[in-house]
Amino acid sequence: MNELLKAVEAKPNENIPPLRTGDSVSVHVKIKEGDRERIQEFKGTVIRLRKGKNESSFTVRRLASNGIGVERTFLLRSPRLEKVVVERHGEVRRAQLYFMRGRTGRSARLKQKFEE
Amino acid sequence: MIKGLIGKKIGMTQIFDDQGVAYPVTLIEAGPCYITQIRRVDRDGYGAVQLGFGEVNPKRLTGGQLGHLKANQLPALRFLREFAVKENDLKIGDKVTVAEAFAQGDRVDVIGISKGKGFAGAVKRYHFHGMNATHGTSDRNRAPGSRSSGTTPGRVYKGSRGPGHMGMDRITAQNLKVVLVDAEHNLLAVNGSVPGSRGSLIMIKEARKQ
C-alpha cells in the first residue's frame, strides 16, 4: 500500500486487544454531552469482525430488556473508543454469528472457551 | 496567495477528525508547484498564473520546454497548467505549497480526467433501464430501445443519447471540503471522491460556488 496513505491513517488503538467472534466484550465509548465527556459502556457478544486495516470494524450484540436485541458497530480505529475489555471467549465455529439474531434467553448463550 | 495547485491522486481512505467522525477522503499529493509564467491583462488580455509541477530528469523534456523553464532558473517540470488569478503580486519562480494555498475547512473544486470506459452501451453511459429480463425478451436485455419517431421526422435528432465512447473526460468535482492539509508530506485530503485513476494528474482550485 502507498506510504503516503499510511501517513494519514489512524494508528491502531493499543487499548484494544485482538478480538474474535464470540468474545464477550465491554466496549468503553467516549460520549460528548455538551462540553462534558463521559465514558459509556456497551457490553455484549462480538458477532462480526470486518478486517481492513484502517476501515476495520466490529459488531457487538447484546440483549436489552424484554429480550430485544441491540447491535452496535464500532470502527476499530475510531478515537471515540477508549478501550475494549474481553471478558471471556465463546466457543464458536463460524466467522459471523448471525444465528444469534434468532435467539433469546438460554439459547443465546455461548459455551465458554478456555485458553490452553 | 494563489488558491490553486497541481497534484497527483494517491487514493482513497478514511480518516477521523478530533470529534471521532470518520470521513471518506481522497488523498492528493499537491505541489510543491512553481510559478513558471504570469499572464497579465494589459499584455495577454487575461490574468493568470502558469504553475509547474513534477520535477523530472531534464532529458525527459523537449528543448522548447526546457528553454521556457531555464529562462527563470526553474527545475525541469513535467506539467504546466494555467490558473486564473486576480492579484498580481506574484513573482515568477515562487514556490507554492499546500499549506500556503489551502487550509482545513476550505471548499475546493478538483479537476481530473475520468477513467476511460471505452465504447459503452446506453445502460452504462446514460443509465437507460434496458429491457425486461423475462416476458419473452431475448438478447435485448441492455438494448437502448427506440431512438426516435417514425416517418416523421424520419431521422434521429442530434444530441440524442446512445452508445458511444465514455470516460476520459475532463471532470470537475465541485465544492469538496478540505479535511486535512499535511505540509510535511505535501498532502491534501478532500472529502469524497475525485475523478481519475490513482496516479493521475489533478488540478485543485478554490471552489467557484461556495
pLDDT higher than 70, residue A116: no
Which pLDDT tens digit goes with each residue over B57-83?
Answer: 888 888 888 888 888 888 888 889 988
pLDDT higher than 70, residue B177: yes
Q: Collect contacts of A107-113 with beta carbons under 8 A, ≥24 apart.
A: A108/A63, A110/A22, A110/A24, A110/A45, A112/A88, A113/A22, A113/A88, A113/A89
> Could you tell me where the DSSP H helices lie in B103-184?
122-126
Which pLDDT tens digit goes with each residue over A82-110?
Answer: 889 999 999 999 999 999 998 888 888 88
B27 lies in the same domain as B78: yes
Domain range list for chain A = 2-103
Taking an 8 Å cut-off on Cβ atoms, the answer to whether B14 and A54 are in contact is yes
Q: Strand, coil or helix: what is B149?
A: coil
B135 lies in the same domain as B90: no
Q: Which amino acid is at B54?
A: G
End-to-end CA gap in chain A: 36
> How far apart are the CA of A80 and the nearest CA of chain B, in angstroms?
5
Taking an 8 Å cut-off on Cβ atoms, the answer to whether B185 and A4 are in contact is yes
- The beta-carbon neighbor of B13 closest among A54, A75, A78 is A54
Residue the block writes with cell 481519475:
B196
Which pLDDT tens digit goes with each residue over A67-76?
Answer: 888 999 999 9
- The beta-carbon neighbor of B15 closest among A2, A4, A10 is A10
Q: What is the pLDDT of residue A1?
A: 58
Is the domain spanning A2-103 CATH 2.30.30.790? The answer is yes
Listed ranges B49-53, B121-125, B185-189; the one with the highest mean pLDDT: B121-125
pTM equals: 0.80
B88 lies in the same domain as B40: yes
B198 lies in the same domain as B132: no
Between CA B56 and CA B52 the distance in angstroms is 11
Between CA B153 and CA B144 the distance in angstroms is 19
Taking an 8 Å cut-off on Cβ atoms, the answer to whether B10 and A2 are in contact is yes
pLDDT higher than 90, residue B37: no
Q: Is B20 on the interface with A (CB under 8 A)?
A: yes
B52 lies in the same domain as B153: no
The pLDDT confidence band at residue B9, using thresholds 50, 70 and 90, is very high
Range of B152's domain? 119-166
Which pLDDT tens digit goes with each residue over A36-53?
Answer: 888 999 999 999 999 888
Which residues have C-beta within 8 Å of that of residue A48, sequence separation ≥ 6? A21, A58, A59, A73, A96, A97, A98
Q: What is the pLDDT of residue B88?
A: 66
For chain B, give the number of residues: 210
Q: For residue B153, is the peptide bond before it cis, meaning its omega torsion is within 30 degrees of 0?
A: yes
Task: Count CB-CB contacts under 10 A for residue B130.
Answer: 16
